[in-house]
Amino acid sequence: DTGVSQNPRHKITKRGQNVTFRCDPISEHNRLYWYRQTLGQGPEFLTYFQNEAQLEKSRLLSDRFSAERPKGSFSTLEIQRTEQGDSAMYLCASSSRTGTSGSNEQFFGPGTRLTVL
């Protein structure tokens, strides 16, 4: 499978615990995005990377959230001291500077569903 992959697919944790998610983008895609989606809503932007540089962070990204892309390939999203309000689907997407449309076509992964009890 040459698409975007995410692990784990599901995560159940207790409030106050830390969790970490991983995203593997499409090979050679230099841009990587994290979004959060709650039931019945569209994805909301969290942060994005161009290669290893984190270029933009949303106001939604509190100081409990941190993301890294250390070698410009895979990325991790960590949530510290989880809260029930963090329960959502966390989606990763990647794009290439020279995508098929020459613009910003973003390919999404299957997501990690987080449930905070």
Partner 1 sequence: GENVEQHPSTLSVQEGDSAVIKCTYSDSASNYFPWYKQELGKRPQLIIDIRSNVGEKKDQRIAVTLNKTAKHFSLHITETQPEDSAVYFCAASPLRRALTFGSGTRLQVQP
Whether residue 8 is preceded by a cis peptide bond, meaning omega within 30 degrees of 0, is: yes
Give whole-number Cα distances, 33 to 4, 77, 100, 111, in Å.
11, 11, 18, 12
Q: To the nearest whole angstrom, how small is the minimum distance from the Cβ of residue 9 to partner 1?
A: 11
Distance CA 16, CA 94 (A): 30
Closest to partner 1 by CB, 14 vs 40, is 40
Give me the residues that bind partner 1 (CB under 8 A), please: 31, 33, 35, 40-45, 48, 56, 58, 91, 95, 97, 101, 103-111
Q: To the nearest whole angstrom, how small is the minimum distance from the Cβ of residue 105 to partner 1?
A: 6
Q: To the nearest whole angstrom, how small is the minimum distance from the Cβ of residue 17 to partner 1?
A: 25
Question: 3-state DSSP call for residue 27?
Answer: coil
Closest to partner 1 by CB, 46 vs 79, is 46
Closest to partner 1 by CB, 80 vs 113, is 113
Q: To the nearest whole angstrom, how small is the minimum distance from the Cβ of residue 111 to partner 1?
A: 6
**How long a stretch of residues is the chain?**
117
Nearest Cα residue to 44 out of 28, 61, 29, 32: 61
